[in-house]
Structure 1
Amino acid sequence: MEATTFTNVQIERAQRLRLRRCLLSCLFYAASASLLAVACGMGLFPRNALYLVLVSFFCTPALFVAVIATGANLRCRDPSLTEAQIAAAMLNCTLVLTFAGPLRGIVMFAYLLPLQFGAFALTTPVLLRLCLIPAAGLPFAIAASHWLGMRGAALELELVQWMALMLVLPFTAYVAGRLFEYTRYKRLSDHDELSGLYNRRAALAYLDQLTRLSTPNQVEFCVAVLDFDHFKQINDRFGHAAGDEVIRGFALLARDNLRKGDVIARWGGEEFVVVLHGDSEQARNSIERLRMACASHVVTAIGGAVTLSAGLARHLPGESIASVIERADHALYAAKRAGRNRTELASLPLDRRQAGTAP
């Protein structure tokens, strides 16, 4: 599969999210530092070691924030730096364990916390690889502690505690990795491979859920059916690879120009369905913004822009999914007949028109 490209807007949005997650890790370090300060006040953790740990706790998240803020992370295979951040947190745990003394049996389970951050982002092999850090780190911390004269529990007990950790950590990594795999498979089943948008099955499931909520809760929404103009001519003239580029480029435009909460799915071929919350005017403004963005976007493979036509229907109380999509589809064909590159509003069903229902 070809590498996915992203617009500058999407990259900036992803960077802001990564920064927020990185800043969230600062809370983890701050909470850990507070607990160590309490332990130090109770005489359970050496004061000089606390200063060293606090410096490490401050520098670690600051380094990752700086890397993401400057955009240097975009050159990495994983721009979120998830594995690196978990590894750094585990190394900091090892540093604390070196000076934990009698607290080592409790503190060592802090290794479990960083693994949770990789539950939906890292595969099982990567998480198991990260378990090698505590596997080697805890014996190193025990040896360094004894070398510094900071003895904790008996060596036999420390060995049993290490064995217990080695039993719990791989199991936790396996479960966390399975969560990632489930999320990945769920995405593959719900998303179109070419465009990355929701597929028909996911869109129907979403509409089914929405229609169940709409009538009792007065949730207002519209459905639009979109179709590229003269798409067959693009495939015939420039080849199917060019047609694929048109679809991928449109998916990026849709993510940037639709409102937050609007859901777009690839319905089939060059046809798309958009579910838009709000009334007809709000929905039409959103579709028009996307249509004009598409008309002004130059597709490299064809050396020009591709226009699209849209049919928009407001969901009526008690109306079925098939009915609202059919009305939007009829409006789409009306837009085609009216000259293309336009949005048409759907008419009411015959029974509603006869009953005088307002559009």
Structure 2
Amino acid sequence: MRRETSESSFLQSTLGNPNYYVYINTLVKKIIFNDQKEAVGVDVDTAGSQYTISARKEVILAAGAFGSPQLLQVSGVGPAELLNGLDIPVLSDLKGVGKNMQDHILFGISHAIHGPSASSLSDPVYFAEQLRLFNEEARGVLSSPGVDVIGWERLPSSSLKSMSNASVGVLETEYSADWPDVEYLPGPSFLGDQNVTVAPNDGQNYASLAPILIKPRSRGTVTITSADAAVHPDIDPAFLTDQVDIEVAVAAFKRARDFWNTDAMKSFSEAPEAYPGDEVQTDEDIATIIRKSYNTVWHASCTCAMGKPDDENAVVDTQGRVYGVKNLRVVDASAFPFLPPGHPIATICESLPSFSPH
């Protein structure tokens, strides 16, 4: 038995293609344009050796929600004010490059439980046996991906009652009726404060239920501080800076707590609540705990957002072509116009109408 991965599904079938070559340990430093603002190649660095790779047709950018806006900015495509401040010649003044960053975040409630969970893997004897079971019989704790089921819902009226009228109005009028408000992700371990990496080593088995904000309104930024692509950009995700996000997060937290308090959940969980604890009750205290303990779900996107030509924040058109220049496309999650309420694992390049890999 083997699980499908990106490597087994896409890479292996491509390795034999004569037009496929991977430059390993190589950093793209800059996109090269000619006098007609056509992308004609990239400057790269491999272990200190710098050279140019030329493009016959187009340059296809897929450096991710952080790398793609960075490469555009250091190459002269982005907010003119930013580029001028770094003495980068402006090829296309696109205010939206590096703006509009969106991501999903999660936070959770943990309980000790009756029965085994991934917490038991901290026992080296138990871990060794589970490793043997997986390698020899494809079963045991390690045969689980860690999350066996997930769920989504629109918050019920009982949850909306604790939110402001303004926030409820946003949820009810600014999104499609089939968009859920929250995702719930169960996990077979202690979640707790995700800024603290050490889980309790007390011999207990733990499980967690984590709400996820899946239609965030907070917007972050990716901003270069140097014309050198080797210098990491400033990344400000600006999580929980929008009041609607905070209110939805608090409502989702209380909703997850309600799930833990059902008879079905009580049958295998132990009281009291292990994290954050029963003493956390007010909306203010819950919001404080969420701000302290949340983590990303690694769905960063929208920093080179797709949009219409008259949208000042748009970076690419519906075919991924970068506005203001030619022969340059962005085909990763940074090109999303907005972050969908789910897990964006599919390759966006296969969805672009006229795009076919060259």
TM-score category, normalised to shorter length: under 0.3
Which of the two has greater strand per residue?
2
Larger RCO of the pair (alpha carbons < 8 Å, separation 6+): 2
State the TM-score, normalizing by the size of structure 2: 0.24
TM-score (norm 1): 0.24
Structure number having the greater helix percentage:
1
Q: From the CA coordinates, give the structure whose radius of gyration is larger.
A: 1
